[in-house]
Amino acid sequence: MVVAPATGKVAVMTNEAIQRHLIDNRESWDERAPAHFASSDYSVQKFIDEPDFLSGVVTFDLPRLGDVNGLRGVHLQCHIGTDTESLARLGAAMTGLDFSPAAIEQARLLAATIGSSTDYVISDVYDAVSALNDQKFDLVFTGIGALCWLPDIDRWANVVGQLLAPGGRLFIREGHPMLWAIDEERSEGLVVDYPYFQTADPVT
């Protein structure tokens, strides 16, 4: 929940809005997953051909990520697993979690193709604690463009806290909220078209 700037009231999504949001969102990612697996943007073939290849996201994160070798890690909202497998290639024992069955199917295909032992779990991120059998992790990882899909950031943070082992850490790189508020289809200048703060109902 985020305090709205004009009223000072807390924006709370209704259960109906949350369910509609999640269904629409999951259907969209189910449709995208096979296309992303085949797309050069996700470099799946490079993962297959080059044993040391890392995703662009994890490569960018390396200076800040620190040494993950030997850590037990979970990647929330892992999509098709390219960042998850990159962390595994850096020596972390990784688990990937995503609510899209189609995305997890592609992630498991990637893991099987490259001989990875990464485990992939289908679950809504808010149900991650039970889906992962109350396991604790040294590293919780989430990549850019993950938080903007969530209806409740406080609830997400509580899940992260429950997943972390004592002394564990959360690694998050996210776009500034202003980035997600800009209308990308307007070419005459920077135009704010989407809400900066969390709203009671999702943008669909």
Domain boundaries in the chain? 15-181
Counting every residue written for the chain, the total comes to 204
**pLDDT tens digit sequence for 173-184:** 888 888 889 998
Strand order in the sheet with 93-98: 119-122, 93-98, 72-76, 137-142, 164-172
The mean pLDDT of 43-54, rounded to a whole number, is 96
**Cα–Cα distances in Å, from 31 out to 43, 51, 204?**
18, 28, 16
How many angstroms separate the CA atoms of 84 and 95, rounded? 7
**pLDDT tens digit sequence for 14-36:** 677 777 778 888 999 999 999 99
Under CATH, which number does the domain 15-181 receive? Answer: 3.40.50.150
How many angstroms separate the CA atoms of 108 and 100, rounded? 12
Q: What is the pLDDT of residue 112?
A: 98
Burial code of 167-193, b = ≥16 C-beta within 10 A, e = fewer? ebbebebeeeeeebeeeeeeeeeeeee
How many angstroms separate the CA atoms of 152 and 63, rounded? 30
How many angstroms separate the CA atoms of 182 and 109, rounded? 35
Q: Can you tell me which residue has the tokens 């959360």?
A: 170
**Cα–Cα distances in Å, from 36 out to 32, 43, 79, 84, 108?**
6, 9, 9, 15, 14
Tokens, residue 115? 């001989």
Is it the case that residue 5 has pLDDT exceeding 80? Answer: no
Is it the case that residue 49 has pLDDT exceeding 60? Answer: yes
Question: Under 8 Å CB-to-CB from 77, ≥6 apart: which residues?
Answer: 97, 98, 99, 125, 142, 143, 146, 149
How many angstroms separate the CA atoms of 72 and 139, rounded? 6
Q: Report residue 3 CA to chain centroid gap.
A: 24
**pLDDT tens digit sequence for 83-137:** 999 999 999 999 999 999 999 999 999 999 999 999 999 999 999 999 999 999 9
How many angstroms separate the CA atoms of 178 and 163, rounded? 29
Q: Which helix (H) or strand (E) holds 176?
A: none
Q: Which helix (H) or strand (E) holds 91?
A: none
In percent, the amount of the chain with pLDDT more than 70 equals 93
In whole numbers, what is the pLDDT of the chain averaged over residues? 90
How many angstroms separate the CA atoms of 103 and 98, rounded? 7
